[in-house]
Amino acid sequence: MNKLGYLGPKGTFTEIAAKKYQQKVREYLPYSDIRSLLDAVLEKEIDQAIVPVENSLEGAVTLTLDLLVELDLKINNEVIIPIEHSLLAKEQVNLEQIKHVISHRQALAQCRQFLENNLTDYQVHIANSTAGAVRELKNFNGCWAAIGNQQAANYYGLEVLANQIQDNQENWTRFIVLGTNENTKSAQKKTSIVCSPQKKDHPGALYDILHEFAIRGINLTRIESRPARKLLGDYIFFIDFEGDYQDFKVKEVLELLNIKTSWLKLLGSYPRSTVIDEYSDQFDIRR
């Protein structure tokens, strides 16, 4: 692979996940937002893109889910990394001197208890990303701090006031690698689909779908619902499960779901996380 795009700017957790992705990459290219990043894959500017899809504390990245429905892209791989936040500043100061904290909305939420316990009379400010917040510090005085990661601190020459300030140490984000083609290499695989129940609402509509997995012993690893953006009460379901779409049992399920659902899209079969084993001995990982 030549070019891998990621959600920028430099210093984001998405860049860290991109560097953990165990494939040969000649060039890493940052993009300012998820939509332009995925459009770049479709337009062949880059070979693949890596985007966040869910966080263990904050839940799904809904924009990513919505674009998976809309765009003709396939999930080629996944990467899961621990999220470790640091409090960064232009120079070393005491924490009581910090009166403004800027970061991404999720990072601020994930470090709320630390901020409340260690800062006084402070205000929070929202940035598009943690790296964007870190980069903006150059425009502010010494009473400002940003929540980011140590890699971003190195990029922008900042001081670390405190490390691992996230309130929950078991904080993980799952990223997916997207491309225009299927991943056909054999490995320990999982599969992702998105579907909508039959338009005629009836009791047990979701059960009818999940029952097909249960009776064949296919383990579901995740299920997420999203509004279908049509009538109030209409939902679509994202389902991840173990196995390859070419496996006999999985083929059976997909054939039946084509009948039992009003719409079904195969998002791809791909290897399980390329880095999850690296951390499994240190943390209790639940997905």
Looking at domain 86-162, does it have CATH number 3.40.190.10? yes
CA distance 277 to 135: 32
Return the pLDDT at 285: 35
Return the pLDDT at 287: 33
Structure tokens, 7:
């959600």
Task: Please tell me the number of Cα atoms within 13 Å of 148 on its side-chain side.
Answer: 37
The single residue listed with the structure tokens 């904080």 is: 171
Q: Give the 3-state secondary structure of residue 93.
A: coil
Return the pLDDT at 171: 87
| Cα–Cα nearest to 4, from 13, 243, 15 | 15
Cβ(75)–Cβ(267) under 8 Å? yes
| CATH architecture for the domain at 3-82+172-181 | 3-Layer(aba) Sandwich (3.40)
CA distance 122 to 116: 9
Domain 189-271 CATH (choose: 1.10.287.3510, 3.40.1410.10, 3.30.70.260, 3.30.70.20): 3.30.70.260
Pairing of strands 100-104, 144-148: parallel
CA distances for 261 relative to 7, 190, 197, angstroms:
34, 21, 5
From first to last of its 287 residues, the chain has per-residue pLDDT tens of: 689 999 988 889 999 999 988 778 889 999 989 999 999 999 999 999 999 999 888 889 999 999 999 999 999 999 999 999 999 999 999 999 999 999 998 899 999 999 999 999 999 999 988 998 999 998 898 899 999 998 888 888 999 999 999 998 888 999 999 999 988 776 778 999 999 987 666 677 888 999 999 999 999 999 999 987 665 557 899 999 999 999 999 999 999 999 999 999 999 999 988 554 444 444 333 33
Structure tokens, 57:
């504390």
Other C-beta atoms closer than 10 Å to the C-beta of 227 total 13
CA distance 182 to 184: 6
Measured at the CA of 154, the angle between CA 149 and CA 157, to 5 degrees, comes to 115
Domain chopping of the chain, boundaries: 3-82+172-181, 86-162, 189-271
Output the DSSP codes for 214-274: HTTTPPEEEEEEEE-SSSTT-EEEEEEEES-TTSHHHHHHHHHHHHHEEEEEEEEEEES-S
Return the pLDDT at 205: 81
Return the pLDDT at 106: 86
Cβ(275)–Cβ(79) under 8 Å? yes
Return the pLDDT at 173: 92
Return the pLDDT at 53: 95
Own/partner pairs, 125-128, CB within 8 angstroms, 24+ separation: 125/100, 125/101, 126/102, 127/102, 127/103, 128/32, 128/33, 128/104
Cβ(287)–Cβ(272) under 8 Å? no
CA distance 252 to 254: 6
| Cα–Cα nearest to 192, from 164, 220, 229, 152 | 220
Q: What pTM, to 2 d.p., does this model score?
A: 0.85
DSSP 8-class letter at 183? -
Matching CATH topology for 3-82+172-181 and 86-162? Answer: yes
